[in-house]
Structure 1
Amino acid sequence: MQGAARRAAWVVIALVGCGWLSALPSRTADDRAPMTAGILARPVAQERPVPRVDCARARCVALTFDDGPAGGTAGLLAILAGRGVKATFFVVGRNVAERPDLVRQEAAAGHEVGDHGYTHADLGKASAAKIDQELTRTQEVIRQATGTTPVLMRPPYGSTGRALTEAVKRRGMAQIMWTVDPVDWKVRDTRAVERRILDQARPGSILLVHDIHPTSVAAVPAIIDGLRRKGYVFATVSELIGRPLVPGRRYDRRPSP
């Protein structure tokens, strides 16, 4: 070992003598700072959901939020974190471009992030070119924010068709619809939204809420608490489905065995 160390020392001396080591750029702490900052600024990757509950046995429901990120999304994330609930967010691409930090927080907290189009256009009636543009741009801004590309897509307005189905299938995405719609985009009444979801939820349901409406976000604590009192367990959409999602296929609830 001493002989090896002695030989290594002679190699270093020789390199210095040849001027090779002196040619290497030296980096001060100030030089290294931008590199460190760049590493810390990299988006947090959204990991593949790891099942936390067996939804074949438990009374699972999936809480999903559309159209964000918006001003109320940060408060919603705090509500979900405080109650230990994982949800699925179907985000609009242009909103992600404006608030990538919120989408990054969603992914970092263990929520699922799905594609909801770039401009919330009616993709069921759109041309193939328009569909391609909407999906491609949204996938890209989500990837930039979270480090991963989503495998879930929710058609705006629930409007789909052959062209959209083929487009999402080519991208390896499944179409996620819903079981319960409290019509919170129209009825801006916190108690009404809460009551409709509590009354209509069943095991395997996918629940639709919009985090762009303060009245809907305000209903979330009571929705969570009320469903838990009924014995429900919250899961992400992938956890609720409980099996590999088929690209292009539409899901509006947990499939029957």
Structure 2
Amino acid sequence: MLIHKINTGFFLAVIAFLVAYSVFDPLSWWVYLIPLALWFIITGLGSAFVQWGYHVKSLNRGEKSGNKIAITFDDGPTSETIKVLELLSKYDAKATFFCIGKQIEKHPDIFKQIIDGGHIVGNHTFNHLPEMGFYSTDKILAEIVKTDELVSRNGLQLKLFRPPYGVTNPNMAKALKRTGHAVIGWNIRSLDTVINDENHILKRITTRLAPGSIILLHDTSQKTVNVLEQLLILLKEQNLKAVAVNELLNIPAYEE
């Protein structure tokens, strides 16, 4: 949240300077709109991209040395998750699944398969609604806690969180301060939910791929399953090892 405070403080100082200056040399009203508009633009972008760390500190990649990368999946579990798990097992890879609470309720057996496969799970809120950016702190907190409590039935106390759509705001920052979750971002966004061409999705990943990368995928479509197999083959060829994000970042995934 430090960047947000610095940005807000800077533009407030600019406006204060303009007001003081106008005492001696009156300014047109539109001059005051310039810093205000810039503040809105920067804040909007900072809220939309979790990697900026604008409202909350996020972990977006691991060490560039070594040969480890992390593949992460959002929005599951779904029926496609089973195919993802089969591929990960086939190529001896581990991944991290940021799960939606209501999806866990729909597919408890698949969720258990993720855990039994040695993969890591994280919190992706309970409902994953686009309007969450307008929720109060208490409402966001309830979304996070409800999923935590659901997962705790499997004996796991979640430490990792990924904001829906990568969107953050001051209310989410306050909620996360209370829960203590580590926020996990990414440095490679596949756009597999909006791009239909599998080759294009794969190219977006491979052209950015390097040790320490955290890749964002979604275990929600056959298209992504197809891309995943090609990616896992490439990782073998390049001697890159897919590990869970907690191993890549050397942080705990669960409460002890």
Structure 2 SS opposite 1:86: coil
Shift of 1:85: 0.5
The residue that corresponds to 2:75 in the other structure is 67
Q: Which has the larger radius of gyration?
A: 1
1:212 matched to 2:220? The reply is yes
Q: Which residue of 2 aligns with 1:78?
A: 86
Q: Among residues 98, 106, 110, which one is paired with 1:102 in the alignment?
A: 110
1:178 and 1:102 mapped to 2: Cα distance? Answer: 24
Output the CA distance in 2 between the equivalents of 1:213 and 1:188: 11
Matched, 1:131 2:140: yes
CA displacement, residues 131-184 of structure 1 (integer Å, 9 cap, x when unaligned)? 02211111122222x321211000001001222123223222111111101211
Asked if structure 2 preserves the Cα contact closer than 8 Å seen for 1:198 and 1:227, the reply is: no
- 1:36 is aligned to none
The number of aligned residues is 192
Distance 2:108 2:176 in 1: 23
Superposed CA deviations along residues 27-63 of structure 1, whole A, max 9, x for unmatched, are xxxxxxxxxxxxxxxxxxxxxxxxxxx9675221100
- State the one-letter code of the partner of 2:218: H
SS of equivalent to 1:78: helix
Aligned counterpart for 1:119 among listed residues 89, 114, 127: 127
Q: 2 CA distance for matches of 1:76 and 1:175?
A: 23
Residues 220-240 of structure 1: per-residue CA shift (max 9 Å, x gap): 111011123223121111111
- Structure 2: tracts of 5 or more residues without a match: 1-61
List per-residue Cα deviations over 1:56-104 (Å, max 9, x = no partner).
Answer: 7522110000000011111111110111111000011100011011111
Q: What secondary structure does 2:207 align onto? A: helix
What is the TM-score with the length of structure 1 in the denominator?
Answer: 0.70
Q: Is the 8 A contact 1:86 1:110 kept in 2?
A: yes
Amino acid in the other structure paired with 2:152: R
- Output the CA distance in 1 between the equivalents of 2:64 and 2:133: 32
Name the structure 1 match of 2:151. Answer: 142
| Separation in 1, partners of 2:197, 2:152 | 34
Map Cα deviations across residues 87-122 of structure 1 (whole Å, 9 max, x no partner). Answer: 000011100011011111111111110011111124
Partner of 2:168: 160
RMSD over aligned Cα atoms: 2.0
| Residue 199 of structure 2 corresponds to residue 191 of structure 1 | yes
Q: Counterparts of 1:89 and 1:243 in 2: how far apart (Å)?
A: 16
1:84-95 matches, within 5 Å, as 84-95=92-103
Contact 2:217 2:224 in 1 (8 A): yes
CA distance in 2, matches of 1:226, 1:156: 29
- Alpha-carbon distance between aligned partners in 1 of 2:129 and 2:186, rounded to the nearest angstrom: 18
- Percent of residue pairs identical: 34
What's the counterpart of residue 230 of structure 2? 222
AA at the equivalent of 2:201: V
User: Which protein has greater RCO, CA pairs closer than 8 Å, 6+ apart?
Assistant: 2
